[in-house]
Structure 1
Amino acid sequence: MEGDDERTSRRANLGRIVASALALLVHLPNRAGVRRQKRKRQKKDLPAREELNYTFPLPPGAFINLSNINGPVFIETADTHIAEVQTIRSALQRRDLDQQPLIVELTENGLSIRGERQLLNSSRRNGVRHRVTVKLPRQVELSVDRVNGMLDVREIGGSALLKNINGGANVRLGQAVGSLEIIRVNGGVQIALGQPQDGGIKIHRINGVVELHFVGEPNAELEVEEFRGDINSVIPLVAKGRMGNSRLHARMGSGGPLISIHCINGGVRLRQDEQSI
C-alpha cells in the first residue's frame, strides 16, 4: 500500500508540473508577441543612423523622381510651392552610411531622390536601410522606380508612374487631369480615386490583390485580363463582348477613360466609398 501511495504522489506531482508547463505555454505567445513587436520597432533603424531634412522651392508641374530606395516611401501633397524631404538612413556601421549615400538634389525640371542601384542587391549584413518622407506641391508629375518597401502616395494631382515596388502600394489620386501607371508590384495595390481622368489607369503585373475605391459613381471602361483570383464588384458592370475565365471587358456607368488591369496574381476588388481611403 505504501508503494501505491508513493506512485499516487508522483502522479499528482507530475500532473501539477504538466499543468504549470501548459499554463506557462499559454502565456508565452503574448509575451513573445510583445517582444516581437518591440524587436520589429527596433529593426526599423540599425545602430548607425543619419537623419537629414531638406526644403526646396518647386513650381507647379515639376517632375519628381524617386529611385533605388531600400525601405518605405511616404509621399503626401499640399497646396504649397515648397517640397519638404526627410531621409533616414541606417546601417550596422557608420562606414556603410559613408559609402552608400542617398542623393537628394534639384534637377533642371524638378527634384531627384535616389540611392545607388547596387544597394538593393546588397546583403542584409552590410546594406543601408532607408525611410523617405516627402511633402510636395499637389500639381507635380511623379515617377517612382525600385522601392524595396511599402509605397504610400497621397493626393497626387498630376500623372504618376510607379514601378518595381517590393512591398505593396497605396495610392490616393487627386482630381487633376493625369494618368496613373502601376507596373510590377510585389504586394497588394490599393487605389482611391474620384472620377477617372482622360489619361486613364494602367495596373499591370501585380503579385497581390488589386483594390479600387471610387468616391462617387465612376464612369469608365474596365479591362481585366490574365488574372488569377476573382473579380468582386459592388459597382454595376455592363459586360462588353465575350467574357472568359481570365478576361473581362465592361463598362461602369456611362463609360469613359480606360482602366486597364493585366497580369494579376490575385483578385480584383471594386468598391464605392463615401470618402477616400
Structure 2
Amino acid sequence: MEGLVMEKIDKSILNQVIIPRNPESYKGNYGKVLIIAGSNHFGGAAILASSATVHSGAGLVTVATTPEKFTAINTKIPEAMTLDYHNKKELLTAILDNTVIAIGPGLGTSSIAKGLVKAVLNNTKTDQTVILDASALTIIAEEKIPLQTTAHIILTPHQGEWQRLSQLEIPEQTETNNFNSIQALNPDAVLVLKKHHSEIYYQDLTFQIEAGNAGMATGGMGDTLTGIMAGFIGQFGYSLATIQAALLIHSTIGDRLNQKHYVILPSNIIEKLPKYMAKYSSQDHES
C-alpha cells in the first residue's frame, strides 16, 4: 500500500487507557491471563513476562512452564499460579479459560514448544487475544504455521524475528513492505515491530512511538513488554489504544530511568509500573 502515513503515538493515550479502578471491584474484573513461557535454559524470560503481567494489573495470572521453574516463579511472583505445560489436558483447559494468552518468551523451539504454539492457535476463539512473541514467532516462521485463528492476534517481533517471519531483510523493512507482509500473514493481526522508535501496524493504520533509549537494549526487555501488553489487555480490554498504551508506558518508564541509569534492567521497569499507572490514571504527569 503506497502513501502510508505513520502517526506518532501521543502520551495522552496513557490517560485514555489507564483509568481509575471502580471501588467496587474484584480480581475477576481485571482479566485472566495465561503466560506460556520458559524452558530449562530460559526460565528468566517466563519470570519477567509473568512479573510484568502481574505488576501491570492483571487480575489472575497463570504461568504455564516446565516444572523445574515452578519454585523460582512461586518465590519471585507468589501472585501467579503455575501449570505444567507438558500436561495437555490442563493446558487445554487453561487455553480455553483465559481471556489473554501470551506465548513464546524463553520457550525454545523444541517439539514440545512447537506443539504448544499449535495448541494455542488451534483452540483460541473470537473473544480471546493471543500475543505471539519470541520463540513462538520463530516456530511459526520455521514450521510455516498459518495464523488462521479467529482470536485477536498480536505479533511482537524484534527486527530479526520479523525478518524470519516476513522474509524481509532488515534494510527492506520499510513501512509499505511491513504493511504488505502483515496483511499476507493475517490482515486482522496487529504487528508491533520492536526497534528504535517501535512501530505498530494494524489494517491500514501505522503508528510509531518517539520513546525508548539505548539503555533498554538489555536481555528480557521484550519479554517485559509482552507481559505489560498481556496485563493491559486483560484489564482494559483488547483495542488498538490498549496496545499503544502498553508499548508507550514501557518506553516512557525506560526513558525516565535512563536519566539516571546508564543501563535499564527490565526488572527496574516492572517495579515502576504500578507507580506510573497511578500517575497516568490521575492525569498526573510529574515524576
| The two structures share one fold, judged by TM-score above 0.5 | no
In proportion to residue count, which structure has more helix? 2
Larger Rg: 1
In proportion to residue count, which structure has more strand? 1
Higher relative contact order (CA 8 A, sep 6+): 2
TM normalised by structure 1 equals 0.30
TM normalised by structure 2 equals 0.29
